[in-house]
Structure 1
Amino acid sequence: MDHKKIAQELLVALGGQENVAAAAHCATRLRLVLNDESIVDKATLDSMDVVKGTFSTGGQFQVILGSGTVNEVYKHFAELSGQTEMSTSDVKDAASKKLNPLQRFVKMLSDIFVPIIPAIVAGGLLMGINNILTAPDLFIEGKSLVDANPEMADLAALINTFANAAFVFLPILIGFSATKRFGGNPFLGATLGMLMVHPDLLNGYNYAAAVLDDSVPVWNIFGYEIEKVGYQGSVLPVLVASYILANIETFLRKKVPSALDNLLTPLFSIFITGLLTFTFVGPLTRSAGDLLTSGIVWMYDTTGAVGGLIFGLAYAPIVITGMHHSFIAVETQLLADLAKTGGSFIFVIAAMSNIAQGAATLAVLKTTKDAKVKGTASAAGISALLGITEPAMFGVNLKLRYPFIGAIIGSGVGSAFVTFFKVKATALGAAGLPGIISIRPDTIVSYIIGMAIAFAVAFVVTIILAKRDAKKAMKQSASEQAAA
């Protein structure tokens, strides 16, 4: 494979060196910021054997080349386009300038929550393991594994402690990540998070009970009472507080003399933000967060299968816009408050969508005669079933259109089923076949059936639509021949 020639052909199809504003690559894709995407020769790109698919999202034009190949092609592409020594972060920064305010807000949430997902996933999966050990009737009628094997009780307790850590101290993780994103010192953000979960405070999970008992502890500052309540498992309060912290710190850095900067700026930043958090920001955003969570749970419980159907139909189109990144904050709150919410239904809907996308792609593999499409569909379909849908969605389904229609129909039907049976996840993870371990134990069977339904419906509908399109093409060809 002549990687330099491929890079040259790509550059020409993309509009030349003057059209490339930034370029980097990830494991499988060239990630580009183009000055004018309208002049891209997509037909040429699609005709290239090495190109598995193209799509545009979040201000970036991405070309799927596959692992191994993308690294070699990028070396020559970067040299030819003059975009050397650029990281994916540089490309993201360049792309963000092309986004509208709503897209920037979604990107901001993504930038904050994506780095902490591994910690949440680890905690959630450990929680799933603990549920498997302690859930009655899962393996033994009338008993849990711990009931049947008492010697495993401490192991389950240890796993539960490990699982809860990321959620109990969630404000520390968010404080660090959010303050960094807002341009402040991330360690001050972590310190702010520590203030919000300090053991001297009333545990946030016990706040509702303390209000009912009229036993909420307070600080009495010159006659003004401030509630001594923690924010364990909270999302919105620490997000707003981190934004305030970063802006106060930035302001003080400009005003405080450099000789006193390291002494006074951290002191006043933490003190002022902490005071604002416990007097105003925290109580207000706690109430707003509770209302948001309650509203989401109410909508899920009230709309039932119909709501699940609509969400399932809409999920893949939402992914195309990139808006799905905003769900991370909502899911984090749902998982952090499991006692109230029972888990995240968003993860389950995402899994149905991913399975359906994979099924539609595999249906294309079965029906198409195009060797290039077959090559892309075989790997992309399996990848989607495992939770990675970009190659399937952008490389096959959207390009051919009818598989995408089949996929969203399958997703809608599967989502309606799992919503009807109240399937929820207790952890984030790979939304697909591996997601079984993330599902609440008493709903695992329904989750598996839902995946089977989503797969079957998407597969069958895609094949039906493929045959319909083939018949239309044959009729059109016959008409053209008759006219000739």
Structure 2
Amino acid sequence: MAKYEQEVRDILDAIGGEENVDKVTHCVTRLRFALKDESKVDADKLESLDIVKGQFSSGGQFQVIIGQGTVDQVYRDIMELTDLGEASKDEVKEASAKKMNPLQQFVKVLADIFIPILPAIVTAGLLLGVHNLLTGENIFFDDAGLVDVYTQWADFADIIFVIANAAFAFLPPLIAWSAVKRFGGSDLFGIVLGLILVHPNLLSAFEYAGAQADGEVPVWNLFGLEIEAIGYQGQVLPTLVASWILAKSELWLRKKTPDAIQLLVVAPAALLFTGLVTFIIIGPITFTIGTSITDFFVWLFDVTPALGGLVYGIAYAPLVVTGMHHVFLAVDLQLTGAGQGTFLWPILALSNMAQGSAALAMMFLAKNENLRGLSGTSALSAYLGVTEPAMFGVNIRYRFPFVMAIIGAASAGMFISINNVLAAAVGVGGVPAIFSIFPEDWGPFFIGMLIALIVPLVLTYLYGKMISKEEI
């Protein structure tokens, strides 16, 4: 017998019935529905159910927050009580994507590419934080790092740097692996393509500007056509476009080539064609575009850091709601891959904290036990870098906490931008983010953390006291 039979029937009734569900799956805390018509959802009825901790729509999926552990049983009961049948996350994504507009589909593609490589990037960011702790000056000793005083730790710090920096030094292979797989090609060919783009025989992208100024950029002479022999270390856009070309070339060749000779034809032809097109046309164009985008953000934060920090602090949380924040991950990776540090990601981390503090204030305001429990646990989750429970389960649901969180994030973002705070790498959002910040920037970043933690907490609590108690 289904443990949550009545709850399942109530949830299905609130979302328009079983007949309104195309496909359904679940993650750690949420049921994920691909609905035929989201206008049939009765949000008030859904949120009145004790088992439901919140609901939101994102990326074409309607998601119902149930809670860790419980969601597994609820999903099993849905499978037992309905004829929907189990679906994978990819199947639900595909069903949801059919209802997306072109911009949403583009953002989804970016998310599908970058999310699989995030564990490697975040791990590298954490290890770089440890390296910064060991080598940064004025942390433990004045004008010296820990390794300068205790030299026996120097080689250990160097080993950590090699391990941590690998993900950024070889960023194109990571992106190409994920991108070629996403575009339908063989992920192994993607790895090979990424390695080609950072081959040691090529001039490193990090050395290109200096070599160009000195007139020493190496070139290939291809039957009279001069091609710059440069690599694409730390470059995102050239890798993405080259991966798309490789995947589509491979798929076309597989259709046209007899099975008996595919091993001899498909991979060599696809990689050779992609390599030539990339080095001759795609690489130089996208390298210029990618560098120009990065230079624009660098210019904006150099010329008007207060405005840049304020605007990004205001925009980041709404971008998360739409899923468009994945676009800026590409800029973060471009900045960190170039070794100059990113000024965008620290604001992201502060935005996570601000959302957590707004949810924490709701814990003190709430009269409902379920809301109080959800607010507390989701605040802790946001402080550790996972904001969805706080943002969608609490803050957006009651609106004013979301606004107060944005005010806190914008204030903190403006402060750290004025003080030119940079992160060495993309790491864990929320409070642990400080370990990814350059040690010399820890002071202003810590003040920014206090702003992001305190301002939303106080504003949300005070406003909540002013409004009718029935609204919470």
Q: Shared fold by TM > 0.5? A: yes
Any idea what SS the aligned residue of 2:138 has? coil
Partner in structure 2 of residue 453 of structure 1: 451
Structure 1: unaligned runs, 5 residues or longer: 474-484
Partner in structure 2 of residue 330 of structure 1: 331
User: What is the rounded CA distance, in whole Å, between the counterparts of 1:329 and 1:405 in structure 2?
Assistant: 26
Partner in structure 2 of residue 306 of structure 1: 307
User: What is the rounded CA distance, in whole Å, between the counterparts of 1:29 and 1:57 in structure 2?
Assistant: 12
- Runs (4 or more) in structure 1 with deviation over 4 Å come to none
User: How far 1:472 sits from its partner (Å)?
Assistant: 10
Matches within 5 A, 1:357-368: 357-368=355-366
**Counterpart of 1:62 in structure 2: which amino acid?**
Q
When structure 1 is superposed on structure 2, of 444-453 and 463-472 the one drifting more is 463-472
Partner in structure 2 of residue 231 of structure 1: 232
Matches within 5 A, 1:40-439: 40-338=41-339, 342-439=340-437
User: How far 1:468 sits from its partner (Å)?
Assistant: 2.1
User: How far 1:471 sits from its partner (Å)?
Assistant: 8.0
**Counterpart of 2:135 in structure 1: which amino acid?**
T
Contact 1:352 1:450 in 2 (8 A): yes
User: What is the rounded CA distance, in whole Å, between the counterparts of 1:87 and 1:186 in structure 2?
Assistant: 20
User: What is the rounded CA distance, in whole Å, between the counterparts of 1:184 and 1:471 in structure 2?
Assistant: 56
Contact 1:17 1:80 in 2 (8 A): no
Partner in structure 2 of residue 482 of structure 1: none
TM-score normalized by the length of structure 2: 0.96
User: How far 1:462 sits from its partner (Å)?
Assistant: 0.9
User: What is the rounded CA distance, in whole Å, between the counterparts of 1:107 and 1:80 in structure 2?
Assistant: 32
Any idea what SS the aligned residue of 1:138 has? coil
Contact 1:169 1:233 in 2 (8 A): yes
Contact 1:20 1:81 in 2 (8 A): no
User: What is the rounded CA distance, in whole Å, between the counterparts of 1:319 and 1:14 in structure 2?
Assistant: 23
User: How far 1:205 sits from its partner (Å)?
Assistant: 1.5
Structure 2: unaligned runs, 5 residues or longer: none
1:298-356 residue CA offsets vs partner (Å, 9 max, x unmatched): 11122211221222122111111111122221111111012xxx322222111221111
1:163-185 residue CA offsets vs partner (Å, 9 max, x unmatched): 22111211111111111111111
User: How far 1:19 sits from its partner (Å)?
Assistant: 0.4
**Counterpart of 2:329 in structure 1: which amino acid?**
I
Contact 2:53 2:66 in 1 (8 A): yes
User: What is the rounded CA distance, in whole Å, between the counterparts of 2:453 and 2:162 in structure 1?
Assistant: 37
How many equivalent pairs are there?
471
Identical positions, percent: 49
Any idea what SS the aligned residue of 2:235 has? coil
**Counterpart of 2:153 in structure 1: which amino acid?**
M
User: How far 1:395 sits from its partner (Å)?
Assistant: 1.3
Any idea what SS the aligned residue of 1:325 has? helix
**Counterpart of 1:323 in structure 2: which amino acid?**
M
When structure 1 is superposed on structure 2, of 301-310 and 97-106 the one drifting more is 301-310
User: How far 1:244 sits from its partner (Å)?
Assistant: 0.9
When structure 1 is superposed on structure 2, of 271-280 and 224-233 the one drifting more is 224-233
Contact 2:120 2:167 in 1 (8 A): yes
Any idea what SS the aligned residue of 1:343 has? coil
User: What is the rounded CA distance, in whole Å, between the counterparts of 2:43 and 2:225 in structure 1?
Assistant: 65
Partner in structure 2 of residue 476 of structure 1: none
**Counterpart of 1:462 in structure 2: which amino acid?**
T
The structure number with the bigger radius of gyration is 1
Any idea what SS the aligned residue of 1:345 has? coil
Contact 2:137 2:439 in 1 (8 A): no
1:358-389 residue CA offsets vs partner (Å, 9 max, x unmatched): 11111111122222221211111211121111
User: How far 1:148 sits from its partner (Å)?
Assistant: 0.7
User: What is the rounded CA distance, in whole Å, between the counterparts of 1:214 and 1:265 in structure 2?
Assistant: 38
Contact 1:175 1:242 in 2 (8 A): yes
Partner in structure 2 of residue 28 of structure 1: 29
User: What is the rounded CA distance, in whole Å, between the counterparts of 2:252 and 2:325 in structure 1?
Assistant: 33
1:133-190 residue CA offsets vs partner (Å, 9 max, x unmatched): 2222221012111111122221222222112211121111111111111111111121
Contact 1:110 1:328 in 2 (8 A): no
User: How far 1:98 sits from its partner (Å)?
Assistant: 1.1
User: What is the rounded CA distance, in whole Å, between the counterparts of 1:430 and 1:124 in structure 2?
Assistant: 8
TM-score normalized by the length of structure 1: 0.94
**Counterpart of 1:181 in structure 2: which amino acid?**
R
User: What is the rounded CA distance, in whole Å, between the counterparts of 1:434 and 1:145 in structure 2?
Assistant: 21
When structure 1 is superposed on structure 2, of 127-136 and 407-416 the one drifting more is 127-136
User: What is the rounded CA distance, in whole Å, between the counterparts of 1:84 and 1:448 in structure 2?
Assistant: 49
User: What is the rounded CA distance, in whole Å, between the counterparts of 1:398 and 1:121 in structure 2?
Assistant: 27
Contact 1:331 1:344 in 2 (8 A): yes
